[in-house]
Amino acid sequence: MTSQQSTAVLIIGAGPAGLVLGNLLLAAGVDCTVVERQSRAHVEQRARAGFLAAHTVRVLTEHGLADGLHMYGQQHDICAFRTDSGEFQLAYGALGRGEVHTVYPQQDLVRDLVAEFLARGGDLRFDTAALRIDGLDGDSASVTVRTPDGSERLLHARYVAGCDGQHGISRSAVPAGAVRHYRRDHGVSWLALLAAAPQSMAAVAYAVHQDGFAGHMARSPEVTRYYLQCDAGTDPGSWTHDRIWAELHHRMRADRHGPLREGGILERRVVDMRSDVLDPIQYGRLFLVGDAAGLISPSAAKGANLAVMESEILARGLADRLGGGDGQLLARYSADCLPRIWRAQEFSHWMINLLHGPSGDDDEAVFLRALQRARLESLRDSRRHQDHFAENYVGI
């Protein structure tokens, strides 16, 4: 193994977390290197989230990273809830703080962030997997990486940013007992679908149905995201095209509210609603960001937005410390992020309980479904509840 070079900040992972952090560090004049185990084509084509909160758009705009999303993104400010007793809509852009979402497919944002990082002269290495992190307690950290030609190299860094997702090596580099790991399995799974079809309605629609939740979310003029609640362990391939559309029409109550615009299913996968939070999200010279710091269920589309929030706070702390500051800002990274992470977790958890009720006719199931109905009615009828919802739905 040849010992290679050193950098101020080594970023592991080129998802939204790593790429936003890298761009913000470059803008602040901080030397950094990003290593990503997948190819450039792979990360630029990976379809994931798409709802960007107002704060996220502000951060990206301030740092010159938002040209694409301002040009091609769609502003979104209405969501609808369909239940047995009808549909109600919340025009959340006129509620709460008056903030709206920008819908911009995550792979397009990733493509923009990669292009910008490279245009600014950034060092971004695809097909380069981080294998091991050492020296987190010492004067400098080192990361062993496998390069595209299969050899191993050692990269030294003053700080390491673990932006490598929930299954990356950063989490496991933290010694047992140094952080607490809180987790919750919500016991709900969604079949997540991308359909080659324009959106069927202007609103994001959440259908609460005794046969399971169904959701409709715009992505781009040609592609729409749909969700169908399914049993855990479902094989996505077992859902045929016809069964998917029949079930979507049934649960979205198309007979009452109008048909959906059908199209080929481009992608299908099962997502289990799970959440976890690490506390603290820092150990020695390692800072965890995005899914590496905590996983949030997709029920309120908070994942990418939390990653941007954390990247912004970390970039400020690192720039301050590496620019000769006393390090207090950097030392507060975890304490500054965690209250916001828990707020987002609380709202996502509340959304899960809003959208899913237990099946069955035993007393407890009936009781919980009555609570769910009361929750939905409160949201339908109370302006104060709607303001609170809007503030949390778009905000962090």
Which residue lies nearer to ligand APR by CB, 108 or 291?
Answer: 291
One character per residue 110-129, x = contact with ligand APR (rule: CB under 6 A): -------------------x
Comparing CA positions, the residue from 253, 270, 261, 246 lying closest to residue 193 is 270
- Assess 163 for contact with ligand APR (CB under 6 A): yes
The two structure tokens encoding residue 358: 């237990």
CB of 385 to ligand APR, least distance (A): 27
Rounded CA gap, 238 and 184, in Å?
27
Q: At its nearest, how many Å lie between ligand APR and the CB of residue 62?
A: 19
15 binds ligand APR (CB under 6 A): yes
When asked if residue 174 is in the footprint of ligand APR (CB under 6 A), the reply is no
- Our CB check for ligand APR shows the closer of 129 and 201 to be 129
Does 280 bind ligand APR (CB under 6 A)? Our answer is no
Size of the residue set binding ligand APR (CB under 6 A) = 27
Interaction between residue 35 and ligand APR (CB under 6 A): yes
Query: Cβ atoms within 10 A of the Cβ of 361, count?
Result: 7
| Structure tokens belonging to residue 332 | 């507060």
* Residue 274 in contact with ligand APR, rule: CB under 6 A: no
Q: Which residue lies nearer to ligand APR by CB, 203 or 344?
A: 344
How many residues would you count in the chain? 396
Residue 214 in contact with ligand APR, rule: CB under 6 A: no
7-15, 93-101, 254-262, 342-350 -> range binding ligand APR (CB under 6 A): 7-15
Does 355 help bind ligand APR (rule: CB under 6 A)?
Answer: no
Contacts to ligand APR from residues 47-66, by CB under 6 A: 48-49
As annotated, the active-site residues are 76, 206, 298, 302, 393
- 170, 12 Cβ separation under 8 angstroms: yes
Instruction: Kindly indicate which of the ranges 207-215, 278-286, 300-308, 326-334 contains the residues binding ligand APR, using the contact rule CB under 6 A.
Output: 300-308
Applying CB under 6 A, which of residues 7, 9, 11, 13 lies at the interface with ligand APR? 13
State the nearest-atom distance from the C-beta of 253 to ligand APR, in Å.
29
294 near ligand APR, judged by CB under 6 A: no
Q: Cβ(284)–Cβ(136) under 8 Å? A: yes
Q: Cα separation of 147 and 144, whole Å?
A: 10
What's the min distance (Å) between Cβ of 7 and ligand APR? 15
Residue 15 or 22: the one with the smaller Cβ distance to ligand APR is 15
130 near ligand APR (CB under 6 A): yes
- 11, 43, 59, 352: which one binds ligand APR (CB under 6 A): 43
Q: Does 14 contact ligand APR by CB under 6 A?
A: yes
Choices 1-9, 113-121, 164-172, 264-272 (CB under 6 A): range interacting with ligand APR: 164-172
Q: Which residues bind ligand APR (CB under 6 A)?
A: 12-18, 35-38, 43, 48-49, 106, 129-130, 163-165, 168-169, 290-291, 303-304, 307
